[in-house]
Amino acid sequence: MKTIDYDIYKLSKKEKTEYLISVTILSSVLLYLFYNTTLVVLPAILCACLTEGYYAAYKAKKRRDVLIEQFRDLLYSLSDAVAAGRHMTEALKDARSDLLLIYDENTPMIKELEIMKKRIEDANESAEELLLDLGSRSRVRDITAFAEVCRICSNTGGDIVRVIGITSQMMLDKLTIVRDIESYTAQKKFEGKIIALLPPLIILFLKLTAPDYLLPMYESMAGRIIMTAALLLMICGYIAAQKITDIGMWNDENDKGIFKKNQIKKGKRD
């Protein structure tokens, strides 16, 4: 069964179509406000195609975040099973039925547990090997560290139940911190979006109330240069605001690396 690389997200036809259509429309409206011409459709389509990799990277990041939260619940299931005397591999094999009571079968952790169960039955792989493989593919330090400690406990006879309990609490604390930071930065993110929307809203207001006022900006070379500079500054400001307020505590690689991998994958697919 094919494993998942959490740095690569392959957009479905529906996701890709919805993204291209929505970004083309938004880009066309934005470019029309800044340049007052209907010839902006082609640049808008090009913009949608060029930013597809960023959208795939965003979806990959969201999928990883979901995996992390579900992995914490997996630890609770493993803790109960091991405490009841089950072997770690058997507990991991049977954990899917427990998590299906909480999550849909199409969620990342359920898919991973299905793959793990298949590999245990077909290749008799150990729980430690499977968890190490998951940590390597997801680039999540805590999963890799947990798998390493489990392997040490398995080799030395350590208290695996205590290890699972400590790891679960650490991940819960980390998730709590991330959520607190996100709640603190939510207002700033919203303010950043409002500030990014102000220039096109002001231009729209002027076009509706005083269209002659903007004619020099549309008909002269100097005006077009000023409009282009304003558009670029607005986009750069929005990206900078998102980067400043972005919280990344789990993965070893940054979003730029994920974006590059998604672009490479896109290139091969095309």
Could you tell me if residue 240 is inside a domain? Answer: yes
Predicted confidence at residue 265, as pLDDT, reads 52
Could you tell me if residue 170 is inside a domain? Answer: yes
Strand partners, 251: 140
Rounded to an integer, the average pLDDT of 98-126 is 88
Residue 224 pLDDT > 70: yes
Instruction: Count the Cβ atoms, other than its own, within 10 Å of residue 124.
Output: 8
Q: Is the pTM of this model over 0.85?
A: no
Residue 267 pLDDT > 80: no
Predicted confidence at residue 90, as pLDDT, reads 85
Could you tell me if residue 3 is inside a domain? Answer: no
CA 137, CA 67: separation in Å to the nearest integer? 12
pLDDT, tens digit, for every residue of 247-259? 655 444 444 444 4
Three-state SS sequence of 62-111 = HHHHHHHHHHHHHHHHHHHHHHCCCCHHHHHHHHHHHHCCCCCCCCHHHH
Predicted confidence at residue 176, as pLDDT, reads 79
Could you tell me if residue 2 is inside a domain? Answer: no
| Domain count of the fold of the chain | 1
Predicted confidence at residue 266, as pLDDT, reads 52
Rounded to an integer, the average pLDDT of 162-184 is 78
pLDDT, tens digit, for every residue of 28-45? 999 999 998 888 888 898
Q: Which of 45, 52, 46, 40 is nearest to 227 (CA)?
A: 40
pLDDT, tens digit, for every residue of 59-108? 998 898 888 888 888 888 888 888 787 888 888 888 888 888 888 888 99
56 near 262, Cβ under 8 Å? yes
129 near 148, Cβ under 8 Å? no
111 near 99, Cβ under 8 Å? no
DSSP sequence for 203-230:
HHHHHHH-GGGGHHHHHSHHHHHHHHHH
Residue 241 pLDDT > 70: yes
Higher pLDDT, 145 or 160: 145
In the block, tokens 């290890």 appear at 163
Predicted confidence at residue 259, as pLDDT, reads 46
The angle at the Cα of 144, spanning 140 to 146, to the nearest 5 degrees, equals 115
Residue 20 pLDDT > 90: yes
Strand partners, 140: 251
The 8-class DSSP code of residue 107 comes to S
Could you tell me if residue 7 is inside a domain? Answer: no
Could you tell me if residue 56 is inside a domain? Answer: yes
Predicted confidence at residue 248, as pLDDT, reads 56
71 near 171, Cβ under 8 Å? yes
Predicted confidence at residue 269, as pLDDT, reads 47
Q: For residue 207, how far is the Cα from the chain centroid?
A: 38
In the block, tokens 């220039």 appear at 199
Could you tell me if residue 80 is inside a domain? Answer: yes
- The contacts of residue 221 (CB under 8 Å, 6+ apart) are none
Could you tell me if residue 8 is inside a domain? Answer: no
Predicted confidence at residue 226, as pLDDT, reads 92
Range of the domain at 226: 13-269
Residue 197 pLDDT > 90: no
CA 264, CA 270: separation in Å to the nearest integer? 10
